[in-house]
């Protein structure tokens, strides 16, 4: 499908600042911006990076049409020279990002932009929109999938999503986070996420009897017969009629794989009773699927209570991340280059300590235990620091409580930020959605179990190198006016 031109999907002040940079002669100054977030949704132990593919598509399609320029001219705020400059506007800078599917943590850059001030400032809105939305949904999906304990989870949220893109890209993000399928057909067409679904209650109501509805469906779709059994009475009507349809239509054809779905009621009680009825009828391979405003906590409790459930359909509370619906990613200036090409660190200072930024153009390393392959911590370093010698012990420390220090031995490093655009050209081979999903699952599997708790998880530390920490403290002391890079 042809990418839509989202060039004007930006906060208006991106344009006023860009015009100001251009007119004042600062437009070509090289600046560095970091995308990072401050807190993990739902009080979780980790988040999942997603949305990079849409950032790439946006950057590659970024251009102003004559219609765009005519519209901006009506605002009477932009110089003709600036509008003429926008006529050939393209992104010519560098972008480094964490691959989609990577577990990420507060404070560390998940995407860094190095570009001329006009370009770097202008792309802020869409970059944040893409990363914030899909990272939010991928993170929620990962929580839901883990709660399901290996049982497949299908994303059922299209009708409750916040707009078309919320449904389509939400399904994409949910798949990255571990969902096995989606109800959104367009997401299957666009991103090859398996679309699934059988019937609604209206199908059952259309027929003269519940049995007729089930029988016809089994005849039409014998290899995909999952029957919705709660239209009238689950145990007195729905399950018995489903059993009869399976026995009369499917079993004579040698088909034993089938399913029932419940979308209401006491799911623990009903699935236990339904499982017993199905087994007694010889339908031991019949799967039980449940839906109905589920989330990770309800799913966890259902399993603890012994509900007989083979898979879940999760809708509104996943596609909207209802319990914590904002991924607070921000886009902050961290450095700029002077006339000699030196990188000058910049810091944002706030009365709120949580809003003080980590300055400078940075590299981010994940430190792994060589024996277990589990990540120990992440470390942010200044871009031009001496390489870490992994043959020697490494001291890491909590940047908020510097007395908390640890000597790490027998470890290896992986750099998290990879080049995506260099000089305006995409240098990153976008992986398939299946590759992203598999990578995400592997990365989450290697996190400590304590980090993956739904409640009160262990904190995963994001540390600063000593050089970066010293730079930050110096900038704080000088109110951001220290020019020693």
Paired tokens of 76: 């009477």
Residues in CB range of 166: below 8 A, 6 or more apart: 133, 319, 320
Matching residue, tokens 């497949």: 152
Nearest to 335 by CA among 472, 467, 130: 472
Listed as own residue / partner, the contacts of 343-350 with beta carbons closer than 8 Å and 24 or more positions apart are: 343/32, 343/383, 343/384, 343/485, 344/483, 344/485, 345/471, 345/475, 345/482, 345/485, 346/480, 347/472, 347/475, 347/476, 347/480, 348/480, 349/476, 349/479, 349/480
Please provide the CATH number assigned to the domain covering 200-292: 3.20.20.70
The answer to whether the beta carbons of residues 131 and 42 sit under 8 Å apart is no
Rounded to whole angstroms, how far apart are CA atoms 459 and 244? 53
Digitized pLDDT (tens) for each residue of the chain, 485 residues in all? 556 789 999 999 999 999 999 999 998 999 999 999 999 999 999 999 999 999 999 999 999 999 999 999 999 999 999 999 999 999 999 999 999 999 999 999 999 999 999 999 999 999 999 999 999 999 999 999 999 999 999 999 999 999 999 999 999 999 999 999 999 999 999 999 999 999 999 999 999 999 999 999 999 999 999 999 999 999 999 999 999 999 999 999 999 999 999 999 999 999 999 999 999 999 999 999 999 999 999 999 999 999 999 999 999 999 999 999 999 999 999 999 999 999 999 999 988 888 999 999 999 999 999 999 999 999 999 999 999 999 999 999 999 899 999 999 999 999 999 999 999 999 999 999 999 999 999 999 999 999 999 999 999 999 999 999 999 999 999 887 655 44
Tell how strand 286-290 and strand 258-262 pair up.
parallel
3-state secondary structure of 394: strand
Domain spanning 12-137+325-477 has what CATH number? 3.20.140.10
| Termini Cα distance of the chain | 45
Task: Tell me how far apart the 2 most distant CA atoms of the chain are, in Å.
Answer: 82
CA distance 385 to 361: 11
Q: Which of 8, 169, 98, 88 is nearest to 424 (CA)?
A: 88
Whole-angstrom distance, CA of residue 52 vs CA of residue 158: 22
173 vs 190: CA distance, rounded Å:
13
Boundaries of every domain in the chain: 12-137+325-477, 200-292
Half-sphere exposure of 50 (CA within 13 A, CB side): 30
CA–CA gap between residue 298 and residue 367 (Å, rounded): 35
């Amino acid at each position: 499908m042809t990418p839509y031109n989202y060039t004007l999907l930006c906060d208006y002040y991106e344009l006023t600042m860009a015009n100001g940079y251009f007119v004042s002669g600062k437009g070509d100054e090289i600046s560095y911006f970091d995308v990072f977030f401050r807190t993990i949704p739902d009080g979780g132990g980790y988040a999942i990076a997603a949305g990079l593919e849409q950032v790439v598509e946006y950057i590659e399609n970024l251009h102003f049409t004559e219609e765009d320029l005519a519209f901006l001219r009506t605002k009477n705020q932009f110089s003709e020279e600036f509008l003429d400059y926008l006529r050939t506007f393209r992104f010519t800078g560098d972008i480094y990002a964490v691959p989609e599917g990577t577990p990420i943590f507060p404070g560390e850059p998940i995407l860094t932009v190095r570009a001329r001030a006009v370009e770097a400032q202008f792309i802020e809105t869409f970059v944040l929109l893409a990363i914030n939305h899909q990272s939010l949904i991928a993170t929620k999906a990962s929580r839901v999938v883990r709660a399901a304990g290996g049982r497949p989870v299908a994303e059922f949220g299209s009708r409750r999503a916040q707009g078309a893109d919320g449904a389509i890209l939400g399904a994409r993000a949910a798949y990255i986070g571990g969902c096995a399928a989606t109800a959104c057909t367009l997401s299957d067409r666009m991103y090859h996420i398996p679309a699934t679904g059988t019937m609604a209650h209206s199908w059952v109501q259309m027929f003269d009897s519940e049995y007729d509805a089930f029988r016809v469906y089994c005849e039409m779709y014998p290899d995909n017969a999952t029957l919705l059994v709660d239209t009238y009475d689950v145990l007195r009507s729905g399950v018995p009629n489903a059993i009869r349809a399976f026995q009369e239509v499917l079993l004579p054809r040698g088909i034993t794989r089938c399913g029932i779905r419940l979308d209401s009621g006491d799911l623990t009680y009903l699935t236990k009773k339904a499982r017993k009825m199905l087994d007694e009828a010889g339908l031991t391979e019949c799967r039980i699927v449940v839906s109905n405003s589920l989330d990770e906590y309800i799913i966890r409790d259902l399993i603890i209570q012994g509900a007989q459930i083979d898979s879940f359909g999760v809708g509104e509370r996943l596609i909207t991340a209802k319990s914590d619906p904002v991924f607070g990613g921000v886009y902050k200036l961290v450095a700029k280059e002077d006339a000699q090409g030196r990188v000058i660190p910049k810091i944002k200072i706030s009365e709120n300590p949580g809003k003080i930024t980590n300055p400078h153009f940075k590299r981010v390393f994940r430190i792994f235990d060589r024996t277990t392959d589990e990540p120990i911590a992440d470390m942010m370093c200044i871009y031009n620091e001496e390489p870490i010698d992994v043959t020697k012990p490494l001291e890491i420390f909590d940047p908020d409580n510097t007395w908390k220090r640890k000597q790490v031995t027998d470890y290896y490093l992986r750099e998290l930020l990879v080049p995506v655009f260099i000089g305006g050209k995409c240098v990153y081979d976008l992986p398939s959605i299946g590759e992203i999903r598999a990578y995400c699952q592997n990365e989450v599997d290697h996190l400590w179990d304590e980090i993956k708790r739904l409640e009160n998880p262990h904190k995963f530390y994001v540390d600063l190198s000593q050089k970066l920490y010293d730079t930050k403290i110096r900038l704080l002391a000088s109110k951001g006016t220290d020019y020693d890079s």
